[in-house]
Amino acid sequence: MPGAGIMRAKRLRAGALGQSSRFYNIYGQRVSASAKGAFKGGQGWTAHNPSIGSMLSLGIAKQNKNAGGNNVCQPGPGPKKTCPELTANNIMTVGTAGSGPTTVYGYGAPGSTTPAGGLTPQYFVQDLSATVVFIYWIPTSNQFEIVVNYSGLSAPTQTSAFETISFVNCDNQSVRTYSSASASTFDSSTITNVQWAWTAATPQAQQQENAFWTSALGKNIKVVFNSTSQNIVWDYCCNNNDCKCRGPLAQCPCRKGGC
């Protein structure tokens, strides 16, 4: 019967126990056959068997062995996504007016009393002569309103000024989108103050509006017209550091977005 020395030599020789190559340990340390959770793999006795599973697991094991540790979440050699670097139509600084339950959140044109926010530029990009007077969320009436001054111009129809308007808060990656066609009320009877209003009719809708506008207070949020993007936050808040593929085999298990 072979001695212990001969058995050890056999284990270090490819093919002795059906292995496809010499034994390697993917963690850079020896794992014996008696270790808890250890079992035989194509690369030696180990607690992780890279010989079964996806090609990604094999690539990770190979990268770990070569690098001396787990670096799968570091930027890898894969392709880099080009961020769209889109420019918002307007930048809105969210302010407040009032206090307590009568507080409103949003923007009011210079000289107005509610609310003291900001908007750059001050007009709708859809019509450079139409000045935005108010953009605000009113918790007491559960309404979000937009008021635009079309003085000296032809008043728009409900949907001709814009189809949708989105407000994007990149700090917490939240967005609110309003469709002109679904506005609860539209009033163009006095073209000096054309108004769109959306009513948050359910407690859930009211909570969502409150959460968005209170969290945006004091911040510069992006205003985007007629966006058809399914991921408007990614498009307008993309960080170039997030666009690099990570991990072996050009896989991206740790980064945000897609390759």
d(CA 33, CA 116): 71
Contact 218, 196 (CB under 8 A): no
d(CA 196, CA 253): 43
In a shared domain, residues 53 and 141:
no
d(CA 132, CA 194): 10
In a shared domain, residues 94 and 147:
yes
DSSP assignments along 147-188, one per residue: EEE-TTSPPP-TTTS-SEEEEEETTTTEEEEEEGGG-SEEE-
pLDDT of residue 192 exceeding 70: yes
pLDDT of residue 36 exceeding 70: no
pLDDT of residue 259 exceeding 70: no
Provide the residue range defining the domain that includes 57.
Answer: 4-71
In a shared domain, residues 66 and 97:
no
Tally Cβ neighbours within 10 Å of residue 155.
Answer: 18
pTM above 0.85, yes or no: no
Q: Give the position of tokens 């969502």.
A: 208
* Domain assignment present for 103: yes
* Domain assignment present for 84: no
More confident residue, 189 or 28: 189
Tally Cβ neighbours within 10 Å of residue 17.
Answer: 10
pLDDT of residue 186 exceeding 90: yes
* Domain assignment present for 79: no
How many domains does the chain fold into? 2
Specify the 3-state DSSP secondary structure of 235: helix
Question: What is the sign, positive or negative, of the torsion defined by CA atoms of 175, 181, 187, 188?
Answer: positive
Mean pLDDT of 167-193: 94
In a shared domain, residues 144 and 45:
no
Which contacts of 46-50 are long-range, i.e. CB under 8 A and separated by 24 or more positions?
A: 50/26
In a shared domain, residues 101 and 22:
no
In a shared domain, residues 148 and 205:
yes
pLDDT, residue 4, reads 75
